[in-house]
Amino acid sequence: MEAVRWLIPAAAWGVSDAQADLGYLYGNGLGVAKDLNMSLDYYNDAASLGINPYAEYEIGRFYRYGWGVEVDYECAMEHFQTAADEGYASAQVELGTMYMDGRGVAKNYTEAMRWFTLAAAQGDATAEINIGYLYASGFGVNKDFAESLKWYKKSAEHGNAYAQYEVGRFYRYAWGVERNDAVALSWFKKALASGYAPAQEEIDKIG
């Protein structure tokens, strides 16, 4: 891969973005043999040169999901926090999820909602789903199906297959709206076309 040939010297010269790019390539085995240790090393190099939100986010994911390292939620939280404070939407979602699940920090739905809202303001479809979930569940907010549906629809309109499926279920099972199988079916078909296989079961039920 031609990019690797140019990125390696740039990384050696201390170019943070080049180091982060190499972290991505090694982490995914693109143009190089997949090597999680090398990937994490490059991300750490990038983060050490000053705040690099993408690198911080990726380091957080290594420790959150145990990619070649022991799972360490508190370490993950620190890196997600750094990236989230810089406005990195994906890190804000991860941070919100940590608060929602109580991983590495005391469970706090209000704080989770705050971070999801910040990410959603940037159009992050996963954040929109999570806000919809919190309103549907009544966690940290008053239970509100109408508000929940609004956020699931936002995510669905951004092309998220799971959100499309959930919107279909609102109309299929009359969660805060009148039952409308035709509308439900249209959303289930969108979800299926977007790759969400469980939608087929709901389509079959409607017939």
For 79-133, what is each residue's pLDDT tens digit? 999 999 999 999 999 999 999 999 999 999 999 999 999 999 999 999 999 999 9
Residue 34 within any structural domain of the chain: yes
Give the separation between CA 29 and CA 94, rounded to whole angstroms. 24
- Assigned domain for 32 exists: yes
What are the tens digits of pLDDT across the range 142-198? Answer: 999 999 999 999 999 999 999 999 999 999 999 999 999 999 999 999 999 999 999
Residue 178 included in any domain: no
Q: Higher pLDDT residue, 191 or 14?
A: 191
Please choose, from the candidates 112, 114, 61, 52, the residue with its C-alpha nearest in 3D space to the C-alpha of residue 83.
52
Give me the domain span that covers residue 15: 1-50
pLDDT of 3 higher than 80? no
How distant, in Å, are the alpha carbons of 80, 165, 191 from that of 200? 36, 10, 9
**66 in a domain, yes or no?**
no
Number of structural domains, the chain? 1
Q: What is the pLDDT of residues 17-67, one digit of tens each?
A: 999 999 999 999 998 999 999 999 999 999 998 889 999 999 999 999 999
Q: Residue 158: CA atoms inside 13 Å, Cβ hemisphere, count?
A: 19
Tell me whether residue 118 is in a domain.
Answer: no
pLDDT at 1 (0 to 100): 62
At 93 the pLDDT is: 98
Q: What pLDDT sits at residue 2?
A: 66
Euclidean distance between CA atoms 116 and 30, whole angstroms? 31
Judge whether 107 lies within some domain: no
Residue at 184 is within a domain: no
Q: Is residue 80 part of a domain?
A: no
pTM, rounded to two decimals: 0.91
Q: Both tokens of residue 86?
A: 């810089």
pLDDT of residue 133: 98
134 against 1, higher pLDDT: 134
Q: Number of helices (H) and strands (E), helices first, in the chain?
A: 12, 0
